[in-house]
Amino acid sequence: MLDDSNDTIFLGIGTLINRLVPSKPKKVVFSTGAGYGKLPRIQENKWKFYCVRGPRTAKALSIDPNLAITDGAALVATVDTLPTPKKRFSFGYMPHHLSLIKGPWHEIAKAANLKYVDATNDVDTVLREIASCEILITEAMHGAIVADALRIPWIPVRCYRGILEFKWNDWCESLGIQYVPITIPALWQIPPHVICNKFWPGKFCWRSNRRKREMILESFDRIKLNARAFLSEDAVFAEALERLQSSLALLKKNS
């Protein structure tokens, strides 16, 4: 279905609907969401919506609320070649990919007896690692989405202010779930008097201490003991998955 033509562009999984979308080509939208940046101008002859991630995206774009289904990553549940490893870990932890530069989370996860899931690994590795956990503690929304699709309970956390609540609520509301994240202490912080490029941090930009790590480990202990794990209801997820598949079939038919 996809080629190198610039006449039509495809907007799929992610938070992609904003002013950065080129105005000239026709846009085909399947399950993506809004949330980052200003909304684009929606011209009927330029946009074709098959579905969007959730009700908040549909409302923001003033499109048919019936187009709000759920995030397209839920389709991972239909993949026949999914890994089926034994549950080797009681809990896993998946930080947001932007948190990875702000400290050695793999070391923290190991100290907290958590399976560390790195969002920047290849797809098969990430799927296998999520599937090996009984419960996934996750700062990354798509960690929760994939876990939910694999019918693995998940616990949302947030460490840094960059976590966008709009997109979480958009997806959660599509499946009748509440977004109730647990705040854990930030591992490393940028001193207020230092300006640095967050994508290329020098050691001078960051500070942490042993007490901060102890606080984080204590937070994970409390989470494992007391936190509520979420999972969409089987019937609700099955209905959303069926609707996604119907929208996908229509997309294929029209392509």
Q: What is the pLDDT of residue 189?
A: 53
Mean pLDDT of 199-223: 72
Does residue 183 sit in helix, strand or coil?
strand
Q: What is the pLDDT of residue 36?
A: 84
- 46 in Cβ contact with 52 (< 8 Å): no
Q: What is the pLDDT of residue 203?
A: 46
Q: Which residues contact 170 (CB under 8 A, 6 or more apart)?
A: 33, 34, 35, 53, 54, 55, 56, 57
Q: Is residue 190 predicted with pLDDT exceeding 60?
A: no
Query: CA-CA distance, 197 to 201, in Å (whole number)?
Result: 6
**pTM recorded for the entire structure:** 0.88
Convert the pLDDT of each residue in 31-48 to its tens digit: 999 888 788 888 888 999
Q: Is residue 206 predicted with pLDDT exceeding 70?
A: no
Mean pLDDT for the chain? 87
Mean pLDDT of 77-95: 85
Convert the pLDDT of each residue in 152-181 to its tens digit: 999 999 987 767 899 999 999 999 999 999
Q: What share of the chain is helix, strand, coil (3-state, %, to 5)?
A: 40, 15, 45
Q: Is residue 22 predicted with pLDDT exceeding 80?
A: yes
Task: Give me 96's structure tokens.
Answer: 């947001």
Q: Which residues pair with 52 in a beta bridge?
A: 68
165 CB neighbour count, 10 Å cutoff: 12
Q: DSSP character for 6?
A: S
Q: What is the pLDDT of residue 38?
A: 86
Which sequence spans correspond to the domains of the chain? 8-68, 78-234
Q: DSSP character for 46?
A: T
Range of lowest pLDDT (89-103, 159-173, 195-209, 223-237): 195-209
Better-predicted residue by pLDDT, 102 or 204: 102
Q: What is the pLDDT of residue 198?
A: 46
In terms of C-beta density within 10 A (0-12 exposed, 13-18 middle, 19 or more buried), how is residue 19 classed? Answer: exposed
Q: What is the pLDDT of residue 102?
A: 73
The CA-atom distances, in angstroms, between 113 and each of 67, 76, 104, 134, 155 are 41, 27, 15, 13, 16
- 30 in Cβ contact with 50 (< 8 Å): yes
The CA-atom distances, in angstroms, between 100 and each of 80, 157, 200, 252 are 31, 15, 12, 37
| Best CA proximity match to 237, nearest among 82, 70, 55, 80 | 70
- 50 in Cβ contact with 12 (< 8 Å): no
